[in-house]
Amino acid sequence: MELVPQLIVSGIAAGSLYALVAIGLVLIYKATDIVNFAQGESVTVGAYMGWLCITQFRLPYFVAVVLVLAGSALVGMIVERVAYRPLLKSPPFTVILATLAVGLIIKNAIRLVWQDTPRTISGVFSAEPIEIGSVLITPERLAIMFTVALVVALLVLFFRFSKLGKAMRATAQSQEAASLMGISVPGIFSKTWALGSALGGLAGVLIAPLVGINTELGAVLVPGFVAAVVGGFTSIPGAIVGGILVGVLENLGGVFISSSFKQVVPFVVLITVLMVLPTGLFGKPLRKAV
């Protein structure tokens, strides 16, 4: 039981990254009603962009982060234009398959260029743990939690006070009403995909110093997707709570049950929550006029 506080803190750090991926999924889904299964590859793209900027171009870490955000946003806009907009009037399932296909294309394109050789980058913060009470935590993990908290705060301000943020909220509530108000719905779609992919890229450059860089980083989509579903899939606070819940329970299950059980935990959490709350922790039931 002495390990529990340590496991919870480490789980919150991992869950913060899951929450970042989940928020990207939620933003795109709220605006377009489409689940972007290429979101995991946004994480991979962000990690490789960070590696290029830091190790090949010798750029400062924070400059690299800005470039990763811009580059990932561009990738998101391209995915929206290639995989979503031409299929705008197609059934949602068709578009979902298209995003899945684009994710596989991105993954294999990266593999074609850099093969499967693992790569590493050094974070700007020390990897030496510091002691806070009875808990050991590295400055890197503290920085991740702080960064995610800062991103969430900035998103709140963006959606509440900026013109573009309000337009995104209006489009998420009703595409038809937003169009009648003079909002360019296709333009909002493009910007929303850019924002969601930028969050994925940020998760990639944050996670890279901890676990290294390889073409399988996109697997973080699974706990991120579970976090979004557990949170309700239309709620940013729900995505945050879901991500942290999955991260903490992964750690606890990996230690107290079995290390191999850790990969199963997200699905156990998903099934358990949906059995009790079919719409997730913060989701609202859909009501359709008959």
Q: What is the pLDDT of residues 35-70, one digit of tens each?
A: 899 999 999 999 999 999 999 999 998 999 999 999
Residue 1's pLDDT is 67
The answer as to whether 21 is a domain residue is yes
Asked whether residue 38 is domain-assigned, the answer is yes
Any domain includes 126: yes
Supply the pLDDT for residue 290: 40
| Residue 67: Cβ within 10 Å count | 19
* Half-sphere exposure at residue 234, Cβ-oriented, CA atoms within 13 angstroms: 13
Domain that holds residue 205: 4-215
CA-to-CA distance for 222 and 43, rounded, in angstroms? 12
Question: Does a structural domain hold residue 173?
Answer: yes
Quote the pTM value: 0.92
> Residue 287's pLDDT band (boundaries 50, 70, 90)?
low
Rounded to 5°, the CA angle 258-260-262 comes to 80
| Token pair for 260 | 């191999």
For 182-207, the DSSP string reads T--HHHHHHHHHHHHHHHHHHHHHHH
In a domain, 223, yes or no: no
- The total of other beta-carbon atoms located within 10 Å of residue 258's CB is 10
Label residue 286 by pLDDT band (50, 70, 90). Answer: low
Q: What is the pLDDT of residues 2-31, one digit of tens each?
A: 788 889 999 999 999 999 999 999 999 988
| Residues 113-155 pLDDT 10s | 988 888 988 878 777 888 887 788 888 899 899 999 999 999 9
| pLDDT at residue 228 greater than cutoff 70 | yes
Two structure tokens written together for 36: 């972007």
Asked if pLDDT for residue 289 goes beyond 50, the answer is: no
- 107 falls in which pLDDT band (50, 70, 90)? very high
Residue 282 lies in a domain: no
If one counts the domains in the chain, the total is: 1
CA dist 190 and 167 (Å) reads 13
What's the pLDDT score for residue 199?
Answer: 95
Q: Is residue 280 assigned to a domain?
A: no
Q: Is residue 141 domain-resident?
A: yes
